[in-house]
Copies of this chain bind each other. A is one copy, B any other.
Amino acid sequence: MSFISHLECPQCGKVFSWKEVHHLCACSSPLLTRYDLEKAKRFMTKESLAGREASMWRYRELLPVGQGEDVVTLGEGMTPLLRAPVLGRRLGVPNLYIKDEGTNPTGTFKARGAAVGISRAKNLGVKSVAMPTAGNAGGAWSCYAARAGIKAFVAMPKDAPENAMKECILAGAELFLVDGLISDAGKFIARGVKEFGWYDASTLKEPYRIEGKKTMGFELAEQFNWKLPDVILYPCGGGVGLIGIWKAFQELEALGWISGHRPRLVAVQAEGCAPIVKAFQEGKLESEYWTGARTLAGGIRVPKALGDFLVLRAIKETAGCAVAVSDEEILAARGLVSRLEGLVICPEGAATVAALRKMRETGLVSESDRVVLLNTGTGLKYPELVEVDIPIYQPDDFPMGSDGEKPKRGPKADPRSGSGT
C-alpha cells in the first residue's frame, strides 16, 4: 500500500528505520521520509488516481502508513484550487489561483500534518503526543489525537487565537497557555518530553507531519493536470508546507509525472518577524533567532524555525525568494479577497496576497505568470480580527433610503476589516 522505505537525514545522510520511533538525527537535523520511487514508478500511474477518494489519502502509496496499519482521518485534503479572476485583474496577475486550505477539517492545513503524524504515532504504539504551537497545529493535533484515542499535551502562547484553544479543550487535550512566544512554549514541552517521555510532535521533530503537508504539492500538480504553475506564495512560519511542496515535486519528478520545470517558491513573512527574509537577503544558509517577534498573523510568528535551512535551500533551488509584509498590508489584503472573491481567508493567507502585490510592483512577478497563493486556513478562526459595530433595528424599522442601495444611517465602517485597494 505504501512504498515507504526509510528515514534519512538531509544534513549528514544517516539512515533510520521507519518502523521505530525516531525524532531528530544525532546531528540535530530533522529527518525526511524516503520511498522506493523506482518501484512505485512501475506500479503507479497518474491516471489511476482519477477515481479515488476526494482526500489526500488518494496518494497513499506515497504516504508513510504501511500495509495493515490504521489511517486516522477526518477527510482532510483535496481542497479546492480556486480561480481568482477579479483579484487577479486588480493585482495585474490575471492567471491567479488560491489553494483554499480553509476547507480542511479543523479549518486549516494543519489537519494534513496531524492526520499523518497521528496515524504514525498510533501505529508506533504512542500513547501521548506533545507540542508547542502558534494555535492551529495544536487544535488539529488535539482533534486527530482524540480520534486515535491518544492523549495530547499542547502548549501555546497566551495570546494565541482563542478558537484554537477551544478546539484543544473540546477535544480533551491538556492545554497550557504560556506567557511568551511559541519558542517559550517549546521549552515548556521539551521539559515534558525529557521528564515524562512524551512523544515529541514539535514541528519537524517527528518526520511525518511534513509528509502530510507535502500532499498540497501532489494536489497542486494533479489539479493543474501535471503542468505546474510559475510561482507559489506560501506564508512561512515553521516552513513545513513549503518544504513539503518542494519534496512533493521532487518525488513526482522521480516518478516521471512532471517535468523538471519548477515553480518559484516564495516564503512570505511579516515585517515584525522575518528571519527567513533576512537570511535570504544576506545569502545565509540558516536564519538567526528574531528578537521581539510581533505580528497579528500568529502562524508566521516563528522567531527561528528548525527547518530554516531547508526552506532557504528550496527557495534558492527554485529561483524563488522571501518577502516581508506589514500587518496593515495583511488586513487590507484580507478585505480585498473577501470583497472581490467571497473568500474569508486567514491573516497568514492574506500575507501572500500582500506579498504578490509587492512582487508584481517590483517586477518579480509578471503579468503572464501563473500564480498560486496558499491560503492556509479559514478566516473564521480569527473572529477577534473583525469588529461588529452596526446598529440594531426594530422589526418595524426600515432604514433604506429612496435609492434602495444603502441604509440612510449606514453601518460604521470597520477600521480593521481593511479597505485596501
Which A residues form the contact surface with B (CB < 8 A)?
Answer: 50-51, 54-55, 73-75, 78-82, 86, 100, 102-107, 142-149, 151, 158, 162-163, 165-167, 169-172, 174-180, 184-185, 187-188, 191-192, 195-198, 334-335, 338-344, 378-381, 383, 386, 388, 390-400, 404-407, 411, 414, 417
Contact = CB atoms under 8 A, between A and B. Distances in A.
A394 B179 contact: yes
A107 B380 contact: yes
A372 to B, nearest CB: 14
Contacts of A86: 149
A220 to B, nearest CB: 14
Contact of A74 (B80, B148, B167, B395): B80
Contacts of A105: 80, 100, 102-103, 343
Contacts of A390: 165, 169, 175-177
B107 A78 contact: no
Given A75-B79, A169-B417, A145 B391 contact: no
10 contacts: A50-B50, A54-B78, A163-B383, A169-B388, A170-B339, A174-B406, A174-B411, A177-B393, A179-B392, A179-B394
Contact of A145 (B166, B192, B342): B342
Contacts of A340: 146
B170 A335 contact: yes
Nearest to A148: B342
A114 to B, nearest CB: 9
A286 to B, nearest CB: 24
A396 B155 CA distance: 13
Contact of A75 (B80, B396, B399): B80
Given A51-B51, A102-B105, A143-B344, A172 B339 contact: yes
Contact of A103 (B103, B166, B197, B334): B103
Contacts of A175: 390, 411
Contacts of A81: 75
Instruction: Name the residue in A163, A180, A185 with the highest tally of chain B Cβ atoms < 10 Å from its Cβ.
Output: A163
Nearest to A411: B175
Contacts of A388: 162, 165-166, 169
Contacts of A162: 383, 388
A178 B392 CA distance: 6
Contact of A171 (B144, B176, B342, B411): B342
Contact of A146 (B51, B145, B195, B338): B338
A165 B344 CA distance: 12
Contacts of A73: 80, 82
A342 B393 contact: no
Contacts of A395: 178-180, 184-185, 187-188
Contacts of A184: 395
A335 B105 CA distance: 17
Contact of A188 (B147, B188, B393): B393
Contact of A344 (B104, B170, B338, B391): B170
Contact of A380 (B172, B335, B380): B380
A23 to B, nearest CB: 18
A100 B80 contact: no
A103 B100 contact: no
A148 B342 CA distance: 8
> 7 closest Cβ contacts across the A-B interface?
A75-B80, A196-B404, A147-B342, A54-B54, A143-B342, A146-B342, A184-B395
B50 A171 contact: no
Contacts of A167: 344, 380
